[in-house]
Structure 1
Amino acid sequence: MKKIRNFCIIAHIDHGKSTLADRLLEFTKTVSQREMQAQLLDNMDLERERGITIKSHAIQMNYVYKGEEYILNLIDTPGHVDFSYEVSRSIAACEGALLLVDASQGTEAQTISNLYLAINHDLVIIPVLNKIDLPGAMPEEIKDEMVDLLGCDRGDIIPASGKEGIGIEDILNAIVERIPAPVGNPDGPLQALIFDSVFNSYRGIEVIFRVKNGSIRKGDKVKFMATGKEYIADEIGTLGLQQIPKQVVECGDVGYLISGIKVAKEVKVGDTFTHIDRPASEAIVGFSEVKPMVFAGIYPVDTSEFEELREAMEKLQLNDAALVWEPETSAALGFGFRCGFLGMLHMEIVQERLEREFDMTVITTVPSVQFRVLTTKEKLLNISAPSEMPEPNFIKYIEEPYINAQIITKSDYIGPILNLCMDKRGILKNQIYLTAERVELQFLIPLAEVVFDFFDKLKTISRGYASLDYELAGYQESDMVKLDVMLNGEAVDALSAIVHRSKSYEWGKKLCEKLRELIPRQMFEIAIQAAIGQKIIARETVKAMRKDVLAKCYGGDISRKRKLLEKQKKGKKRMRQVGSVEIPQEAFMAVLKIN
């Protein structure tokens, strides 16, 4: 155990975590030159295309230090706020963390929030100043920031460059010297924390775990404590670039377990497993339950594919423990699922993964957040979809979730950012100057205002400099109303939304205009209306396509023409009563792009 070091790499988006991980793997010769490629641990096509890490990845390296060989378990983590749950799971499996800061951008919101996550788990922090080779690097100023943030000595900060491979050896030496060896009882009952799982279509579910106490051998009978299920460890081993089967995984090490588990629900990330014949008395305290921030419906385009979609969702949940879902039905779209996501990027990624990895074409409805409604009968309801909202006369009041948002930006952009937050009904709580140039703004903002396009707008007005981090602050009473969209007098539940009364008129008007552009013209006239309760607040009309029935009348009496037009009008009227309107997928997504 004294030779094992478990560590993760944490940083803000784009501060070079994956590139640094590449250099560490090259330096320790874990990966041969032939196998090497940039961002080696990002093995999903989506991660490579977008240049972001979505999943945490674990890999084991061997490193010789002062003549002794050490085993280093590295876990590369995502940087985006939507995947912070992945980071919290990786941190639970480690004793130390490399905190990366970009030498040209300095500490940002996500750096600070990930740092607090690590400190709460008592991890040893090794500060690394990355990208020192960039022309815009300001190593001395940013070292001052890091000293203020961490309270460390200037000498503790390791200057490095993932791209050029500078400082890699110093980092590896620091990992061995500063990060403590795992603590545990090798002879005690087995306790292993599951911090990840992967679905393999040939071998069932692969469980990735960290042994806290005891050890596990091939062929052992194990029991999952949360679900109570029992299995035989058919194959265990450690994680290189490919899996390396072993006879035994010792105390303190990170490894994988394959035991032919077929049912996705039986593996819970954060669960503990132990031996059947010598069980541990209690489970390891895992990580906090995940709190979804954004809710949206996901429906199969073809209703007969509902069961396939369910299977796809179960397999995806293994890989992405932050995804929460339950079945729901909609009058317009049939059977589907109401899903909880950590943010808009997470939602987009889930939709893309369903299409790529499982060949499912899906329709996603308008995202919304969870509201709380107190009815006139003093009953408290949690509402995550507009269709669950009771009629206005049964509602005493509605509460909506608020978040504490922390925005770090250059001082030049304070004006536009304040305007944006005030627009979104935000309240400025605090303003702290970190340096003369950088300022931290703290806001209390309704979550419903943040889920749509807040992040994109923030990046646009600050030219990419502002960074955002947020956490839930609880619920507050608010004047919210349900806005219905009606086509030809019939409400379309998939397009309704819960909005603040002050914005409902503007929202309804824009939505109707957008739908008028997107809904194709039919043989009959379509009325698009936005309504709050019984009150219509906006209307647009999609005109009917008409055949020129007067083409055969050249000259002659006007009454002949009028007769033909009357006949056509009657037919159109009848058609409108029986005709149904097909809504294209773009119309559902239009609501997102209203602003």
Structure 2
Amino acid sequence: MPEKLTNIRNFSIIAHIDHGKSTLADRFLLHTKTIEERTFHDQVLDAMDLERERGITIKSHPVRMHYDADDGRTYVFNLIDTPGHVDFSYEVSRSLAACEGAILLIDAAQGVQAQTLANANLALHQKLTIIPVINKIDLPAADVDMCLEQVEELLAIPRDEVLKVSAKSGMGVKELLEAVVARVPPPETDPAQPLQALVFDSVYDVYRGVVSFVRVVNGSVKVGESIRFFNTDLTTEVKEVGYFSPGMKPSASLLQGEVGYIITTIKTPGDIHVGDTITGYLRACKQPLAGFQHVRPMVFSGIYPIDTADYEALKANIAKLRLNDSAFVAQPESSIALGAGFRCGFLGLLHMEIVQERLRREYNMELLLTYPSVIYHVFMRDGSMKEVDNPLHMPDPSHISHVEEPMIKSQIIAPATYLGAIMNLVMDKRGICLKTDNVDHIHVMITARLPLHEIVLDFYDKLKTVTRGYGSMDYEPDGYETSPTVKLEILVNSEPVDAFASIVHADRAVYRARMICERLREAIPPQMFKVAIQGAVGGRIIAREDVRQLRKNVLAKCYGGDITRKRKLLDKQKEGKKRMKEVGNVNIPPEAFVAVLRASDDKG
């Protein structure tokens, strides 16, 4: 093996949200003098304000460091920081595929959480060397013994292999860097193979086009060479190569085992997919690197501007956002009630929240999101199958044979005292508990199977509530299952309002219809005539509320006299109201949409 290769260490830090991943990365950068103290700020690798504010990593950020080890040699460390949330698990898996080792970070106060376990399993699946590390050992609430017990029980790693650090104070960081040198193996390459490079992320630069973040597995890539993206079959010319330190530093070439970036002539972000293989144009590899897949959205929602005049601005801002987030899908759609907007697909709930927050914050947009939906498989009587993600596209019930909804397998870790409350929550959401395992003498892990639709709205919030904030959850797709789902329509003055339509489980339809009707009755102001708000499934009315009418006191001028005079005036008013109802429209204020669509749904 060449001398240069033996000095390279490619590794990642994986952890649950807020376990100190970005803080440890900061400490590495300072310890290796990659950045100077005077230019340092917390969470250097987190570029977005949203990332710093929430303490989460949304986009992965690689960085190259040079470390002078105790053995007298200088090692090149390529740290590939990864997102910590389940929504970005494909990105995490591709980032891990670019590494030989992973630092598994565990909060000393919280112990092993659900996403710690999920990320550890991803790393084991990639056959990486795992270095378990307990962080925040200087906290008053730290329970190191509990963490060691959990590591042995859940991850089957002996406790003497676990390192203890405090990323905040720098305690134990030097020992951890030495452990990376000793435990993480150098990259393995085949000199006879042509260029093979893994794209583990990409960003859009306004001036230079798409920047691909790559790990060179075999061969090398230089400026001026022609390269080909294996899975999309795109051929392009290399304009610049380099590495991150932590900013972009151009270099003459990227060699095998190295991590860096490639800038080509490609200007469209959608042309480059995470997980694709880059190879040479003249001398191409025969097989791409394993693990590539097209990322598909799991949750769909309509995004509309509250002021219809903002549509063009929203269109431009969504286009800008998609440049740096290829997993975010948006297609124009229009609603009779809400006007023009976009049908958007997201990887999951956090992804949806982040996109919404970025549109509001970075582009100052006032938005309305429709009821989130998932992809249903609708099997027709003629034997065909349709994928439906929008309630408006649900076929007529008479043509449907059966409907399948997406399921998820969830791991929930929480103190054992909350076991009953978690099981009740799972059953409330139409789920089943498959098994429970003891994590240590305090915590249990519950494996449950639930419909994805049920966790889309508020499952995570409710889990945090019933476990007093101690519960954590991770999930993965688990196929489809036949389910009696129906399309629920809301009629206002006998007219269906498309923005309120949703696909719900047949058992929950009546409850949800009543809830929406009640909310609308409160939100719609009194009209000149009585307005009926109805919930309907397949033409059958299952719930009704009435918005009261404004009435003029027509009897005010009757100071006496026969009752027939009063009745005549009331009947005349009644006729007028009836005629008004036939020709009148109900104006639904934006507050009514907000009240219904942002409402937390207690039973699904």
Equivalent pair of 1:514/1:594 in contact (CA under 8 Å): no
**Contact 2:14/2:105 (8 A) holds in 1:** yes
Amino acid at match of 2:352: M
- Residue 213 of structure 2 is aligned to residue 208 of structure 1: yes
Supply the distance in 1 between the matched residues of 2:6 and 2:249 (Cα, whole angstroms).
21
Q: Secondary structure at the match of 1:134?
A: coil
Look up the match of 1:341: 346
Residue of structure 2 equivalent to 1:484: 489
Q: Which amino acid aligns with 2:491?
A: M
User: Is the Cα contact below 8 Å between 1:186 and 1:250 reproduced in 2?
Assistant: no
SS at the partner of 2:509? helix
The corresponding residue for 1:37 is 41
Look up the match of 1:167: 172
Q: 2:583 aligns with which of 562, 577, 581?
A: 577
Which of 7, 24, 34 is matched with 1:3 structurally?
A: 7
Alpha-carbon contact 2:529-2:549 (below 8 Å) kept: yes
Q: Which residue of 2 aligns with 1:424?
A: 429
Indicate the residue corresponding to 2:601 in structure 1.
594
Give the letter for the 1:73 counterpart. N
Give the Cα separation in 2 of the matches to 1:199 and 1:322: 14
CA distance in 2, matches of 1:260, 1:556: 90
Q: Does 1:97 align with 2:126?
A: no
Cα shift at 1:160: 0.5
Q: 1 CA distance for matches of 2:205 and 2:591?
A: 32
Matches within 5 A, 1:121-520: 121-185=126-190, 188-301=193-306, 309=314, 312-520=317-525
Q: Distance in 1 between matches of 2:25 and 2:192?
A: 33
Q: Residue 81 of structure 1: which of 83, 86, 93 is its match?
A: 86
User: 1:426–1:209: structure 2 CA closer, same or farther, 3 Å change rule?
Assistant: same
Moved more, 431-440 or 317-326: 317-326
- How much has 1:291 moved relative to structure 2? 4.5
Q: Distance in 1 between matches of 2:76 and 2:399?
A: 63
TM-aligned CA deviation for residue 15 of structure 1: 1.2
Partners of 1:528 and 1:467 lie apart in 2 by: 39
Q: What amino acid is the match of 1:68? A: R
Is the deviation greater in 248-257 or in 229-238?
Answer: 229-238
Which is worse superposed, 102-111 or 375-384? 375-384
1:264, 1:315 within 8 Å by CA — same for their partners in 2? no
Identity of aligned residues (%): 48
Superposed CA deviations along residues 130-180 of structure 1, whole A, max 9, x for unmatched, are: 111111212123212212333333222110011111111111111112111
Structure 1 residues 585 and 320 mapped into 2: Cα distance closer, same or farther (>3 Å)? farther
How big is each residue's C-alpha offset from its partner over 1:358-406, in whole Å with a ceiling of 9 and x where there is no partner?
4554432111122222222222222212112222222222222222221
The answer (yes or no) to whether the contact 1:133–1:161 under 8 Å persists in 2 is yes
Distance of aligned partners of 1:586 and 1:31 in 2 relative to their CA distance in 1, 3 Å threshold: farther
Rounded to whole Å, the distance in 2 between the matches of 1:370 and 1:589 is: 25
Task: Sort the Cα spacing of 1:26 and 1:446 in 2 relative to 1 into closer, same or farther, 3 A.
Answer: same
Counterparts of 1:274 and 1:361 in 2: how far apart (Å)?
Answer: 44
Kept in 2, the 8 Å contact 1:131–1:163? The answer is: yes
Distance 1:227 1:118 in 2: 27
Paired residues of 1:524 and 1:576 also in contact (CA < 8 A): no
Residues 361 and 554 (structure 1 numbering): CA distance in 2 closer, same or farther, change over 3 Å? same
Residues 61-114 of structure 1 deviation map (CA, whole Å, 9 limit, x = unaligned) = 111113222111112222222232332221121111000111122112111111
Output the aligned Cα RMSD.
2.7
In the aligned structure 2, how far is the partner of 1:44 from the partner of 1:526?
47
In the TM superposition, 1:534-545 aligns within 5 A as: 534-545=539-550
SS of residue in 2 equivalent to 1:219: coil
Farther off after superposition, 295-304 or 230-239: 295-304
1:232-291 Cα deviation digits (max 9, x unpaired) = 322221112221111212211111222353222222222222232333333222444434
CA distance in 1, matches of 2:447, 2:530: 50
Deviation, structure 1 residue 204: 2.1
Contact 1:406 1:468 in 2 (8 A): yes
Q: Distance in 2 between matches of 1:37 and 1:523?
A: 61
TM-score, structure 2 as length reference? 0.91
Counterpart-to-counterpart distance in 1, 2:376 and 2:595 = 22
Corresponding residue to 1:64 among 44, 59, 68? 68
Letter in 2 for 1:200: D
**More displaced stretch, 360-369 vs 30-39:** 360-369
Is the counterpart of residue 27 in structure 1 residue 27 in structure 2?
A: no
State whether residues 534 and 541 of structure 2, in contact with CA within 8 Å, keep that contact through their aligned partners in structure 1: yes
1:438–1:278 Cα change, 3 Å:
same
Per-residue deviation, 1:117? 0.5
Whole-Å separation in 2 of the counterparts to 1:589 and 1:258: 47
Structure 2, unmatched stretches of 5+, are: none
2:133 aligned partner, one-letter code:
V
1:529-563 deviations in Å (ceiling 9; x for gaps): 11111211111122244567788x59587959965
CA distance in 2, matches of 1:183, 1:546: 83
SS at match of 1:142: helix
Please name the residue that 2:50 is paired with.
46
Please, what TM-score do these two structures have when normalized by structure 1? 0.92
Residues 332, 442 of structure 1: alpha-carbon distance in 2 compared, 3 angstrom cutoff: same
Instruction: Using the TM superposition, give the Cα deviation of residue 308 of structure 1 relative to its aligned residue in structure 2, in angstroms.
Output: 5.9
The SS at the match of 1:34 is helix
- Closer, same or farther: CA 91–548 of 1 in aligned 2, 3 Å: farther
Distance 1:2 1:314 in 2: 44
**Aligned equivalents of 1:438 and 1:567: distance in 2?**
68
Cα distance in 1 for partners of 2:361, 2:225 equals 37
Asked if the contact 1:524–1:543 (Cα under 8 Å) also holds between the matched residues in 2, the reply is yes
- Contact kept, 8 Å, 1:526 with 1:544, in 2: the verdict is yes
Deviation at 1:486, TM superposition (A): 0.8
Partners in 2 of 1:531 and 1:568 — Cα distance?
Answer: 27
* CA distance in structure 2 between the aligned counterparts of 1:376 and 1:229, rounded to whole angstroms: 41
The structural deviation recorded for 1:479 is 2.0
Question: What SS does the corresponding residue of 1:397 show, helix, strand or coil?
Answer: strand
Deviates more, 1:108-117 or 1:317-326: 317-326
Give the AA of the match of 1:43.
A
**Counterpart among 6, 14, 22 of residue 18 in structure 1:** 22
Do the aligned residues in 2 keep the contact of 1:366 with 1:588 (CA within 8 Å)?
Answer: no
Gaps of 5+ in 1: none
Q: Which amino acid in 2 is paired with 1:178?
A: R
Equivalent pair of 1:365/1:589 in contact (CA under 8 Å): no
> Which residue identity lines up with residue 110 of structure 2 in the other structure?
Q
How far apart in 2 are the matches of 1:345 and 1:576? 45
Q: Which is worse superposed, 12-21 or 265-274? A: 265-274
